[in-house]
Amino acid sequence: MMLENGAYERHIRHVRRRNGERWQTLLDALHRRFRDRIHIAGAAAGQDLVVWFRDLPRESEAMLTEAARAKGVGIYPISPLFDLCHPERRPDMSGVVMGYAALEPGQIEHGCRPFAEAADRLKPRSVSGF
């Protein structure tokens, strides 16, 4: 029935439009908060982003993740994924996976502030990578 009357296609268009808004909100908030400190990967696909910190070494990743979670921001370290698949290609910088599809734009904006505060408390240094 939904396929015949076009309701399914309308639903898919609505979901894509809303996810596009969330995606853009997250990209804008990250760039505004971190500027050139980060490199964003996977921004053109899926419902998650990988954010690499150019100035935080790999060893800081667990502290970054824990500090962000303590502030109510759910992010996930990238290391376990690389360790399983491509440990030899893993950059020497901290990286986190951030999802956005379940959040409203206001929640995304609100969450980027404590995330930036958590990252700012870690000691930056120059690392190799992007």
Q: Could you tell me the residue ranges of all domains in the chain? A: 2-120
pLDDT reading at 36 higher than 80: yes
As a dihedral over the C-alpha atoms of residue 69, residue 58, residue 34, residue 21, rounded to 10 degrees, the angle is -60
What DSSP character marks residue 33? H
Confidence of residue 24 (pLDDT cuts 50, 70, 90): very high
For the stretch 82-104, pLDDT in tens is 888 887 888 899 999 999 989 99
Identify whether the C-beta of residue 122 lies closer than 8 Å to the C-beta of residue 63: yes
Was domain 2-120 assigned CATH 3.90.1150.10?
yes
Whether 57 has a pLDDT exceeding 80, the answer reads yes
Instruction: Give the confidence band of 65 by pLDDT, cuts at 50, 70, 90.
Output: very high
This prediction's pTM: 0.84
